[in-house]
């Protein structure tokens, strides 16, 4: 368990560097408490004749007062304890999942293609087939996760895909490689949406951006650390008569399986079930989440909310956004070692030269997570990062100088920011844990359709400059910009409509708590915030803001 605790200490340093989460958590909760307490009292003066509003506001205000009475040091200690037990598990498992799906690129360069006599077309199908299994099983897997428990389901998936990864070592031909890649996709399908859902059950929305940034920054580490690890493991080439590329799968698969077994011991499904928190600390986490969006981790399985995820048109718009931003990410991750070969590097040198750009990607994702939580403006982060990547891809298409082209790959790493931002944006904008679980699974499933395309983008016949591949990725980002703007604008328009309707209902005294239950974020009182900073989100005083904070606190963010 020593590596686990060493990694825990590492995450402490990263969390302080990027977010100062422990120092800010109490301030953010108290700020929300002060604002929503005033809002609750204002609501009673607006509609004193509505007994349901008064009763609910009194209960909600009591919960807020209870949280405010806790000692700041205790709140700080509680969230540090949550970070120590949640973030290492999420980061290590996600790192393992990306290494296990992306190690095929390093294995190819280090001898797999020659050993199995792979043609370029066969290798492209090896990359794509993974996502077919992923797409088919991702949504039902996340619904099953909600039906069962993350405590057992996520570690089980981890052990299964670790074993599958290790079995790559027995593959003898292209057909076997394609088949086992499909089953690796099936085994990993439920993990990513599951881990995103699990984290959203622990953290309020005001800090999710930082936490997801820490999680997604591991994708950058996949490129940097994964290449170094593969090169080191390849040194075992010939040991016990086993080729070096086969050792890559054996070692990395066993490491993943070990992470899964450790997760069985340390993972807790929800705050109410956490053995590492005492009763007071559990209450603090519960009240913080209720103050953010009236979220109860004990909410029972609700088929009506599950179905609402499939009938909400925004779910499919989110799916289009995810497709358009995932295609470039997956195509670069899976193909960068091969593309670097086009710059004149071969073998282990090619895998090592692919590492430095990912190092920059690691830090910019962390910085973007901090700034998005600190200043809001999620949509602006999203657009800015996409524009940087598009410019870098255009330069890659136009310039032949190898040094300039290599430098552009550092700017291409801004591609990770839109994905991390969208995790926060989506998780914050789907109300009700049942709908959020189903919608997250469906959106990720739709997004991974892009993965089936990504393996076909950097084709061997387009080497060494891969102009066509870069052009496809530019087109994807153009779609992402249009889709993102459409989503942002739809939220903004809905805010105006819901504000008018909420004012009318408050004036008429016809709003009751039951209006909010099964409708989730479709309720007219669930608000899509159109402000540009997180501060204005917390301190809004419109009538619809008041109702939302009292009953549901599920205002959804447009930027």
CATH code: domain of residue 388: 1.20.1250.20
The arithmetic mean of pLDDT across residues 52-72, rounded, is 59
Which range marks the domain in which residue 360 is found?
Answer: 72-490
Asked whether residue 372 is domain-assigned, the answer is yes
The arithmetic mean of pLDDT across residues 265-274, rounded, is 89
Asked whether residue 423 is domain-assigned, the answer is yes
The arithmetic mean of pLDDT across residues 423-439, rounded, is 76
Asked whether residue 10 is domain-assigned, the answer is no
Of the pLDDT bands very low, low, confident and very high (cuts 50, 70, 90), residue 347 is low
**Which among 256, 248, 243 has a CA at the least distance from the CA of 228?**
248
Tokens of 110: 């280090």
Place of tokens 């956004």: 321
Of the pLDDT bands very low, low, confident and very high (cuts 50, 70, 90), residue 61 is low
Question: Is pLDDT larger for residue 543 or for residue 518?
Answer: 518
Mind listing the pLDDT tens digit for each residue in 492-503?
888 778 777 767
The secondary structure of 90-138, three-state, reads: HHHHHHHHHHHHHHHHHHHHHHHHHHHCCCHHHHHHHHHHHHHHHHHHH
Q: What is the mean pLDDT of the chain?
A: 75
Q: What percent of the chain has pLDDT over 90?
A: 22
Query: What pTM was estimated for this model as a whole?
Result: 0.67
Question: H helices within 342-466, ranges in order?
Answer: 347-353, 355-375, 378-398, 402-412, 416-428, 433-447, 449-454
Question: Is pLDDT larger for residue 129 or for residue 303?
Answer: 129
CA quadruple 248, 251, 254, 255: dihedral sign? negative
| pLDDT for the residue 387 | 96
Asked whether residue 413 is domain-assigned, the answer is yes
Asked whether residue 131 is domain-assigned, the answer is yes
Q: Which residues contact 221 (CB under 8 A, 6 or more apart)?
A: 95, 358, 362
Beta-strand relationship, 556-557 and 528-529: parallel
> Of 15-19, 109-113, 175-179, where does the model show the most confidence?
175-179
Strand partners, 529: 557
Asked whether residue 7 is domain-assigned, the answer is no
CA distance linking residue 466 with residue 459, whole number of Å: 8
CB neighbour class for 191 (10 Å; exposed up to 12, middle 13-18, buried from 19): buried
Would you give the DSSP letter of residue 463? T
**Which among 363, 350, 300, 364 has a CA at the least distance from the CA of 146?**
300
Question: Is pLDDT larger for residue 280 or for residue 224?
Answer: 280
| pLDDT for the residue 441 | 77
Asked whether residue 232 is domain-assigned, the answer is yes
Asked whether residue 432 is domain-assigned, the answer is yes
Of the pLDDT bands very low, low, confident and very high (cuts 50, 70, 90), residue 132 is confident
Of the pLDDT bands very low, low, confident and very high (cuts 50, 70, 90), residue 51 is very low
The arithmetic mean of pLDDT across residues 7-14, rounded, is 48
Would you give the DSSP letter of residue 148? S
Tokens of 551: 């009953």
| pLDDT for the residue 558 | 54
The arithmetic mean of pLDDT across residues 422-430, rounded, is 80
Judged against a pLDDT cut of 50, whether residue 352 lies above it is answered with yes
Q: Please report how the helices 467-508 and 378-398 are oriented relative to each other, as an axis angle in degrees rounded to 10.
A: 170
| pLDDT for the residue 559 | 55
> Of 251-265, 335-349, 532-546, where does the model show the most confidence?
251-265
Residue-wise DSSP of 237-298: TTGGG--HHHHHHHHHHHHHHHHHHHHHHH--SSGGG-TTS-HHHHHHHHHHHHHHH---TT
| pLDDT for the residue 298 | 52
| pLDDT for the residue 7 | 45
Of the pLDDT bands very low, low, confident and very high (cuts 50, 70, 90), residue 310 is confident
Domain count across the chain: 1
Mind listing the pLDDT tens digit for each residue in 172-226?
999 999 999 999 999 988 888 889 889 888 888 778 878 888 888 877 777 667 7
Of the pLDDT bands very low, low, confident and very high (cuts 50, 70, 90), residue 63 is low
Place of tokens 């204005």: 536
> Of 51-60, 262-271, 299-308, 502-511, where does the model show the most confidence?
262-271
């Amino acid at each position: 368990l020593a590596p686990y605790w060493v990694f825990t200490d590492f995450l402490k340093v990263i969390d302080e560097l990027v977010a100062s989460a422990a120092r800010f958590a109490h301030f953010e909760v108290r700020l929300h408490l002060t604002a929503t307490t005033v809002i609750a009292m204002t609501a009673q003066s607006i509609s004193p004749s509505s007994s349901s509003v008064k009763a609910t506001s009194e209960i909600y205000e009591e919960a807020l007062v209870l949280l405010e009475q806790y000692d700041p040091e205790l709140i700080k200690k509680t969230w540090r304890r949550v970070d120590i037990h949640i973030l290492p598990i999420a980061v290590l498992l996600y790192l393992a999942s990306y290494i296990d799906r992306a190690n095929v690129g390093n294995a190819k360069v280090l001898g797999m293609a020659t050993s199995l006599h792979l043609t370029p077309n066969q290798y492209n199908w090896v990359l794509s087939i993974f996502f077919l299994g992923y797409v088919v099983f991702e949504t039902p897997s996340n619904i099953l996760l909600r039906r069962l428990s993350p405590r057992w389901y996520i570690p089980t998936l981890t052990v299964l895909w670790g074993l599958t990864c290790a079995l790559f070592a027995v593959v003898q031909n292209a057909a076997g490689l394609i088949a086992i890649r499909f089953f690796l996709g099936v085994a990993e399908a439920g993990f990513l949406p599951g881990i995103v859902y699990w984290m959203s059950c622990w953290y309020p929305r005001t800090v999710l951006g930082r936490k997801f940034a820490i999680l997604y920054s591991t994708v950058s580490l996949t490129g940097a650390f994964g290449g170094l690890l593969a090169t080191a493991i390849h040194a075992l080439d010939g040991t016990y008569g086993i080729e070096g590329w086969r050792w890559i799968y054996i070692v990395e698969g066993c490491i993943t399986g070990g992470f899964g077994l450790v997760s069985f011991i340390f993972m807790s499904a929800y705050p109410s079930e956490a053995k590492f928190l005492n009763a007071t600390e559990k209450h603090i986490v519960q009240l913080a989440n209720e103050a953010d969006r009236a979220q109860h981790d004990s909410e029972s399985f609700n088929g009506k909310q599950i179905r609402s995820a499939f009938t909400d048109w925004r779910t499919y718009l989110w799916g289009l956004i995810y497709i358009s931003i995932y295609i470039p990410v997956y195509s670069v991750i899976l193909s960068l070692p091969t593309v670097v070969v086009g710059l004149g590097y071969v073998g282990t040198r090619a895998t090592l030269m692919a590492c430095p750009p990912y190092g920059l990607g690691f830090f910019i994702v962390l910085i973007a997570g901090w700034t998005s939580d600190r200043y809001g403006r999620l949509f602006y982060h999203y657009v800015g990062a996409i524009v940087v990547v598009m410019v870098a891809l255009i330069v890659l298409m136009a310039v032949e100088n190898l040094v300039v082209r290599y430098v552009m790959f550092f700017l291409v790493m801004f591609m990770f920011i839109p994905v991390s931002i969208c995790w926060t944006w989506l998780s914050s904008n789907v109300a009700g844990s049942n709908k959020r679980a189903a919608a997250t699974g469906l959106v990720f499933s739709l997004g991974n359709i892009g993965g089936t395309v990504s393996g076909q983008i950097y084709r061997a016949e387009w080497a060494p400059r891969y102009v066509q591949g870069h052009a496809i990725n530019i087109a994807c980002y153009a779609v992402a910009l249009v889709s993102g703007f459409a989503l942002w604008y739809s939220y903004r328009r809905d805010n105006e409509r819901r504000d008018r309707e909420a004012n009318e209902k408050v004036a008429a005294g016809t709003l009751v708590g039951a209006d909010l239950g099964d409708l989730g974020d479709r309720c007219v009182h669930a608000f899509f915030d159109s402000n540009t900073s997180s501060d204005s989100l917390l301190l809004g005083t419109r009538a619809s803001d008041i109702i939302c904070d009292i009953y549901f606190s599920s205002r959804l963010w447009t930027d």
